[in-house]
Structure formats: structure tokens, C-alpha cells
């Protein structure tokens, strides 16, 4: 059931119409809190544009602890950066213009999907990795993630892999975990014949030889583990398969760079579980920043430590009316690196050669190399994720 608080009758009716029959409109925030206390499994609250911002913030702050899986979507007549920043700080998942009905519905669907994932009890039974440092000789795993497509994940992952190999001095494996729409093969012009899909049928007897047989060499020092050629094959690559492949690949490489789908799906979670660093991509536009802020909150909820996150701003110099201060305010996180925007990036992609390899002196190549050097190569390998107990512990009842 979706719970809606909207004081103005006509707006409430309109919301109930677009959100469907499983919607209940309530007349006060106290009533809403009482309902939630009695129904801890509820996953979505929509606060109408008539809600006072301070009340909405108080409500979200109160419920993010008692109902961590609950999503709060806030409607406003106008969405501006200040409201957005304040709302996201309070843990509100989405702020949407109330007049944009399709966007409202889409935001609610996104929030519900995330809540279902967060509430999924099966996660509680997945054994947590030991929070100890990997032994010497084991790869450092770096996952490149963004909650939105088109941010430059695959571009950064491919260039990072080349930068980390330092001309063949390090062994790097680039893993394509965007299993439905993997682009690594296309970006590097590699045949996808060998791919991670082969691990599915032999997951219980995977070893180095088997993993090696799935790799495609890109250049000395850079191997790739590509995505299966069809989304149907990609679906068969479960969390368990990803975990096992990474466990074995770890002893074969110095660095593993993982490109991901723009979603907290089970394969991405397996990658994040195994990772020493999460590179989170931002771009200087409000929807992307907002989604990244939500993703950072989700990282908190899932217990992925803040000190392993590196936020990289792509197309940092794009003239879009957002200042560095706006971006910092919305994200509440320092930016580890700024990558400029350049049309040479898509040109390099069309040629099938990452810009770091093609034009090493290009400002984009330099930015990626500096980031790799400062944030990844010099960092000692530390433990993977610490358990996110908060999410799965017994819920506090009011």
C-alpha cells in the first residue's frame, strides 16, 4: 500500500488516481506515523506538495531509523537545489514536481523497487565477508558505480583499467557486470565469445584455469571478463556466481576494475561486497546528483563504509549553471577527482581505444591517470565491506 499525505482534497484525489488502487490518503502526519507504527512493512510514503518542508524533513528523519526500508517521496510545486539538498539530507528519496504526473509515478516505482530490495529478508542469510585485510598478492577490487545510466561508468572503468596497468607493470582485470547491456566489449572492440556467463554451469568447481578460459586479452597487462552477449544469459549470472568468480580472480591479478549496471541489483551488490574502493560517478546535473545522493544514503544503509567511497565528477567543466558549491552541498561528500568534458572521449570510444591509451597527454587521460595514481595506486588495500546490521536487525516498534 502506498500512503499519501496531502491536505488539499483535489490534489489528494489526483495522486490516488495516478498511484493506483493500493493507495491510502491520510489527513495528517500524526495519522501517517500511527499507521506506519502499526504496519512496519509499508514501503512508500508520498508527501504531497501541500506538506510544509520542515514537517516533511522531521517526518523523514524520524522514520529513517524506525523504518529503514521505507521510501519517502516528496512533491513540490517547484523543485530547486536548496529544497533538494535539505530533503535529501533528511533521507527523503526523491523530490519531484507535483505537476509532472509521469515523473511522480516513476519516482514512486523506483522507490518501491529499492525498498523491496532493502527489505528483502534473504540478504540477512548471506554470509558477510570477513572484515580483514586481504592477504598479500591479492587484487584490489575497484567497483565503478552510478545509479543512473550515461554518467560515464564504462568510459571511466575502461580508462581506469588501462591507467592502473601502468603500461603492463600491473596485471589488471576489467570485469563487465552490466550484464544486460554490457558495453565493455563494444568500447574495446573485443569479440564477446568468452564471457562470465560460462561460469554459471560450473560455479561449484571454478578454478583459475576456468576463469582464465573466460578472459579476453585487451593489451599487455589488461584482461577483460566480458558480459554475456544477451540479457537472458546475463540474468543467470547470480550473486553467488559473481562472488565466486571474484574470489578466484583476486589471486590472479593486482587490480580488478568492475563496470556495473545503474542499479543496486544482486550482481552489483556482490561486486560492492568484495570491493576495496567504490568509485561513484557524478555529473553536474540535478537529477544525476540527486540520484547519487540517494545512492550514497543507500550505501550507508547497506553498511558500505564511507571511507572507501571516491566520488568522481565527470564532465566537471560542463557549463550548466551549477557551481562547485551547489554540487558539494547536494552530495555532502568531497569530490576525489574532476574529469573534464571533451568530444575526444566519444571519438576515442568510436575508435575502440580508451583515451588513456590513445592520447596519454589529453586532459581527460591525465585526470584519470592522476585519480588512479593518487586515490588507488598509493592506497594500501584495506578490508571489504563491514556488515550492515542495521537494516536486517529486528525493527523497533513504536
Ligand X SMILES: Nc1ncnc2c1ncn2[C@@H]1O[C@H](COP(=O)(O)OP(=O)(O)O)[C@@H](O)[C@H]1O
In the complex with Mg ion, which residue's Cβ is closer, 108 or 355? Answer: 355
**Beta strand 140-145 with 335-339: parallel, antiparallel or unpaired?**
unpaired
Part of the chain binding ligand X (CB under 6 A), chosen from 152-160, 220-228, 250-258, 297-305: 152-160
Do 208 and 248 contact (CB within 8 A), yes or no? Answer: yes
Q: Give the whole-angstrom CA distance, residue 351 versus residue 2.
A: 48
Q: Select the residue interacting with Mg ion from 11, 26, 37, 183 (CB under 5 A).
A: 183
Part of the chain binding Mg ion (CB under 5 A), chosen from 85-93, 149-157, 263-271, 293-301: 149-157
**CA dist list (Å): 115 to 110, 121, 246, 364, 385:** 9, 12, 27, 37, 21
Q: Give the whole-angstrom CA distance, residue 339 versus residue 156.
A: 9
Q: Which of residues 301-360 bind ligand X (CB under 6 A)?
A: 314-315, 339, 341-342, 345-346, 349
If one asks whether residue 180 binds Mg ion (CB under 5 A), the answer comes out as no
**Is residue 9 classed as helix, strand or coil in its secondary structure?**
helix
H-type alpha helices, 303-383: 324-331, 344-351, 355-358, 363-371
In the complex with ligand X, which residue's Cβ is closer, 147 or 228? Answer: 147
In whole angstroms, how close is the CB of 161 to Mg ion at the nearest point? 14
In the complex with ligand X, which residue's Cβ is closer, 354 or 388? Answer: 354
DSSP 110-179: HHHHHHHHHH-GGGGGSPPPP-SPPPTTPPEEEEEE-SSTTSSHHHHHHHHHHHHHGGGTS-EEEEEE--
The neighbour count for residue 381, using CB atoms within 10 Å, is: 17
In the complex with ligand X, which residue's Cβ is closer, 20 or 352? Answer: 352
Q: Give the whole-angstrom CA distance, residue 241 versus residue 253.
A: 18
Q: Select the residue interacting with ligand X from 150, 167, 220, 231 (CB under 6 A).
A: 150
Residue nearest to Mg ion (CB): 154
In the complex with ligand X, which residue's Cβ is closer, 4 or 283? Answer: 283
If one asks whether residue 98 binds Mg ion (CB under 5 A), the answer comes out as no
In whole angstroms, how close is the CB of 110 to ligand X at the nearest point? 17
Q: Select the residue interacting with ligand X from 67, 76, 153, 277 (CB under 6 A).
A: 153
Q: Give the whole-angstrom CA distance, residue 59 versus residue 85.
A: 16
Part of the chain binding Mg ion (CB under 5 A), chosen from 9-17, 146-154, 348-356, 359-367: 146-154
**Is residue 280 classed as helix, strand or coil in its secondary structure?**
strand
Q: Which of residues 169-198 bind ligand X (CB under 6 A)?
A: 183
Please give the size of the binding site for Mg ion, defined by CB under 5 A.
3
If one asks whether residue 370 binds ligand X (CB under 6 A), the answer comes out as no
Q: Select the residue interacting with ligand X from 119, 146, 214, 365 (CB under 6 A).
A: 146
In the complex with ligand X, which residue's Cβ is closer, 239 or 315? Answer: 315
In whole angstroms, how close is the CB of 244 to ligand X at the nearest point? 25
Part of the chain binding ligand X (CB under 6 A), chosen from 85-93, 133-141, 142-150, 192-200: 142-150
Joined grid coordinates for residue 84 = 533538494
**CA dist list (Å): 116 to 44, 120, 343:** 10, 6, 39
- For CA atoms 108, 113, 115, 116, give the dihedral sign: positive
Q: Give the whole-angstrom CA distance, residue 187 versus residue 157.
A: 11
In whole angstroms, how close is the CB of 338 to ligand X at the nearest point? 10
Q: Select the residue interacting with ligand X from 151, 199, 249, 310 (CB under 6 A).
A: 151
In whole angstroms, how close is the CB of 221 to ligand X at the nearest point? 21
In whole angstroms, how close is the CB of 15 to ligand X at the nearest point? 32
**CA dist list (Å): 272 to 46, 105, 195, 277, 341:** 30, 29, 20, 8, 27
If one asks whether residue 154 binds Mg ion (CB under 5 A), the answer comes out as yes
| Phi/psi-derived region of residue 102, left when phi > 0, alpha when psi is between -120 and 50, beta in every other case | alpha
The secondary structure of residue 308, as a DSSP letter, is G
In the complex with Mg ion, which residue's Cβ is closer, 19 or 146? Answer: 146
Task: Give me the residues that bind ligand X (CB under 6 A), please.
Answer: 146, 149-155, 183, 314-315, 339, 341-342, 345-346, 349, 364
Task: Give me the residues that bind Mg ion (CB under 5 A), please.
Answer: 153-154, 183
Amino acid at each position: 500500500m502506498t500512503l499519501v499525505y496531502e491536505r488539499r482534497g483535489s490534489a489528494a484525489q489526483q495522486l490516488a488516481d495516478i498511484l493506483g488502487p493500493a493507495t491510502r490518503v491520510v489527513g495528517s502526519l500524526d495519522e501517517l506515523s500511527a499507521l506506519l507504527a502499526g504496519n512496519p512493512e509499508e514501503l512508500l510514503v508520498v508527501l504531497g506538495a501541500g506538506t510544509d518542508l520542515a514537517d516533511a524533513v522531521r517526518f523523514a528523519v524520524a522514520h529513517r531509523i524506525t523504518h529503514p526500508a521505507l521510501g519517502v517521496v516528496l512533491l513540490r510545486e517547484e523543485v530547486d537545489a536548496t529544497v533538494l539538498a535539505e530533503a535529501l539530507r533528511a533521507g527523503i528519496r526523491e523530490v519531484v514536481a507535483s505537476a509532472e504526473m509521469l515523473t511522480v509515478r516513476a519516482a514512486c516505482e523506483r522507490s518501491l523497487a529499492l525498498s523491496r530490495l532493502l527489505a528483502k529478508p534473504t540478504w540477512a542469510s548471506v554470509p558477510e565477508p570477513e572484515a580483514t585485510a586481504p592477504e598479500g598478492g591479492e587484487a584490489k577490487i575497484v567497483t565503478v558505480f552510478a545509479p543512473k545510466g550515461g554518467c560515464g561508468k564504462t568510459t571511466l572503468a575502461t580508462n581506469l583499467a588501462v591507467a592502473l596497468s601502468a603500461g603492463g607493470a600491473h596485471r589488471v582485470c576489467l570485469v563487465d557486470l552490466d550484464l544486460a547491456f554490457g558495453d565493455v566489449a563494444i568500447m574495446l572492440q573485443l569479440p564477446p565469445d568468452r564471457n562470465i556467463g560460462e561460469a554459471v554451469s560450473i560455479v561449484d568447481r571454478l578454478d583459475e584455469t576456468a576463469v582464465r578460459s573466460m578472459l579476453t586479452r585487451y593489451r599487455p597487462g589488461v584482461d577483460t571478463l566480458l558480459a554475456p552477449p544477451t540479457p537472458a544469459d546475463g540474468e543467470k549470472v547470480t550473486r553467488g556466481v559473481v562472488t565466486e568468480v571474484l574470489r578466484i580472480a583476486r589471486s590472479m591479478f593486482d587490480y580488478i576494475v568492475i563496470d556495473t549496471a545503474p542499479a543496486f541489483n544482486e550482481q552489483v551488490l556482490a561486486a560492492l561486497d568484495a570491493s576495496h574502493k567504490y568509485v561513484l560517478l557524478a555529473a553536474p546535473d540535478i537529477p544525476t546528483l540527486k540520484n547519487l545522493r540517494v545512492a550514497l544514503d543507500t550505501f550507508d544503509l547497506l553498511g558500505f563504509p564511507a571511507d572507501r567511497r571516491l566520488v568522481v565528477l565527470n564532465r566537471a567543466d560542463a557549463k550548466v549553471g551549477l557551481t562547485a558549491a551547489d554540487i558539494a552541498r547536494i552530495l555532502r561528500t568531497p569530490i576525489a577527482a574532476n574529469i573534464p568534458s571533451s568530444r575526444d572521449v566519444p571519438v576515442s570510444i568510436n575508435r575502440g581505444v580508451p583515451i588513456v591509451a590513445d592520447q596519454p597527454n589529453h586532459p581527460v587521460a591525465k585526470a584519470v591517470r592522476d585519480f588512479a595514481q593518487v586515490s588507488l595506486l598509493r592506497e594500501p588495500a584495506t578490508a571489504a565491506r563491514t556488515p550492515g546490521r542495521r537494516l536486517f536487525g529486528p525493527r523497533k516498534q513504536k
